[in-house]
Amino acid sequence: MPTVSDSLLHYRPWRGEFRGPIHGSLAMARLSLLLLARRKLFWGLYALALMIFFFFFYGQYLVVWIQEQTSQQTVQFGGIPVKVGDLTKFLDRLNLNGSAHTFGNFIWFEGYIVMIVMALAGSVLVGNDFAHGSLPFYLAKPIGRRHYLFGKFLALGLFLNLVTTVPALVLFLQAGLLYDWQSYYFDHLREFAGILGYGLALTLTLGTLLLATAVWVRRTVPLIMVWTGMFVLARLLASMLVEGAKLDARWKLIDLWNDLYLVGLWCLGASRESIRGDQPEFWEAAAACGVVIVLSLLYLRKRIQAVEVIS
């Protein structure tokens, strides 16, 4: 029976249906995305990512228009006459023709924005829970440690795919409209599945690695420094060892973003010979990403289990 104090406190018993802990993970992911949406910095970085998308979007239109022109004809860009043939040589390096390299190059360039956004997101969504002691509060609820990690992982994965996979699918639809759509969509089903596979590889690898790094570092500035070292300094070191010192191409496996790029091209169906420069084999890059995922999960399991929970 409710007492007088219950009425004064406006206590209302829960009359809804109790759901499983997986719904707690979904709610945590939803609130995590809302937390990111309140930060103006994330919208600014997302706008930069959209600029890269629009460059590829209108670039495909430009390539189709150039194919209808002669190589000796000149066009005006900002009042400067430019030969169509010279412009074609520049656009050919980006492969803006709806092929596998079109989507691979797009996600590659989006990586510069993804690295910054993911570092900030890891600090806001995960690092703060450890720094401010919020994790024991979450785990005291009827959810397990794996449900907490899944909720955070789902939020990071959704944000990552909004920057990479979804715009790449839009470019795929646009390429079919620019060319013969009746044959393009049927002949390029491998590219469509490859975009989804590339997004899955990015989500699994970067999501687990970011969670592990955020649990380890926690603070925003150190997290950005560590994240920069893993993706910027590792890329420079790999380039120096392979292209400068002429060592074996397997040294490029230390560059995780390059490994993901190779895995993405493998999913997209690109041939090994079409990749510029010395590169390791596709399966070696996939194995390197698998090692990163396994080590990250083992570290997360160790750190999350060490958190004391008062039940």
Higher pLDDT, 79 or 27: 27
Nearest Cα neighbor of 261 from 103, 104, 95, 102 is: 104
**Which pLDDT belongs to residue 89?**
63
**Which pLDDT belongs to residue 86?**
58
**Residue 70 pLDDT more than 60?**
no
**Which pLDDT belongs to residue 217?**
81
CB 68 within 8 A of CB 137: no
C-alpha span between 175 and 177 (Å, rounded) = 5
C-alpha span between 200 and 157 (Å, rounded) = 9
At 75, which helix (H) or strand (E)?
strand 74-77
User: For the chain, which residues make up each domain, given as ranges?
Assistant: 25-305
Q: Is 74 helix (H, G, I), strand (E, B) or coil?
A: strand
**Which pLDDT belongs to residue 120?**
79
Three-state SS for 140-195 is CCCCCHHHHHHHHHHHHHHHHHHHCHHHHHHHHHHHHHHCCHHHHHHHCHHHHHHH
Q: Is 279 helix (H, G, I), strand (E, B) or coil?
A: coil
